[in-house]
Amino acid sequence: MGKISVISGNTSKGLARRIAKKLNATFIPTETTNFPDGESKITLKKIPKKGIILVIQSTSPPVDTNLLQLLSMISQARKFSSKIYAVIPYMGYARQDRSFLGGEIVTISVVAKMLETAGAKKIIVVDIHSKTALKYFKIEAENVSAIPKLVNYFKKIKLKNPLIVSPDTGGSARAKEFAKQFNTDFISLKKHRNRKTGKVKIQSSKMNIKNRDLILVDDMISSGGSIIKATQFLKKQGSGKIFVACSHAILIGDAEKNIRKAGVKEIISTNTILGRTAKVDVSDIIAKSIK
């Protein structure tokens, strides 16, 4: 493949180091200073070599700040090579892939244009919230799945007659794939979200989950509202232990505390976003996609 350089942003330093090691690439750390008004100033600590340059940065909260830092690093890398891959383990704004109410802006389309204009020739993401979002990219866009890694983690846990659960019908395909690799069955809950208030209500579900251990599978958890509602509903049905598996644990505010309070035994996520729940490493699947 030739020489590879890995530029690491603030949000993905540990993951970027692991990827660089697996690719035998030159690791280029960055130093970020913040001005009193919130502006970021980024300095590359080494000069990238010609060849493929990976710029690795999750656009986790604060999303706008981390997105602008990513764009800045891509723009700087473009001065040294034309082969710039933006590795965005967690892609913010992917939920804004269509207009649900009149006048709403499809922001992911704006993000796609900015990444291309900055100089990215390809983007690599992990379990993007919406495959539809990828259609807005005119450059090559690849989505890699962390499901096999999460499944392997849960195979090491002793579970009683496990059942995979999607907190909504929109995540059915994800839960089905997880269940297939886990060699068990799955169900999807039906929920309704008020587009104006954001409140979630479980409408109905016919199932027999009594005394079965459950794994709630989702791509991302932000406030945890859907997971909490699902957990409370499942507990009332007499379920056994409830675990949560997700690729991206954003966990805003007291989300983790509230999820545990609702009855979840453990939250397991990947290291696309740093945190206490990030127990599954995805550096190898990202490195493999680049190879």
Q: How far apart are CA 258 and CA 224, in angstroms?
A: 8
Among 191, 229, 261, 288, the active-site one is 191
**Dihedral angle sign, alpha carbons of residues 117, 123, 128, 130:** positive
Q: How far apart are CA 77 and CA 49, in angstroms?
A: 10
Q: How far apart are CA 46 and CA 30, in angstroms?
A: 8
191 is catalytic: yes
CA distances from 27 to 34, 44, 81 (A): 23, 11, 16
- Listed in sequence order, the DSSP H helices in the chain are 13-23, 63-77, 107-118, 131-134, 147-155, 172-182, 225-236, 255-262, 283-290
* Residue 172 burial by Cβ neighbours in a 10 Å radius (0-12, 13-18, 19+): middle
- Are 279 and 251 spatial neighbours (Cβ–Cβ below 8 Å)? no
Tell me the sheet residues that pair with 33: 41
Q: How far apart are CA 136 and CA 158, in angstroms?
A: 42
Residues annotated as catalytic (active site), given as ranges: 191
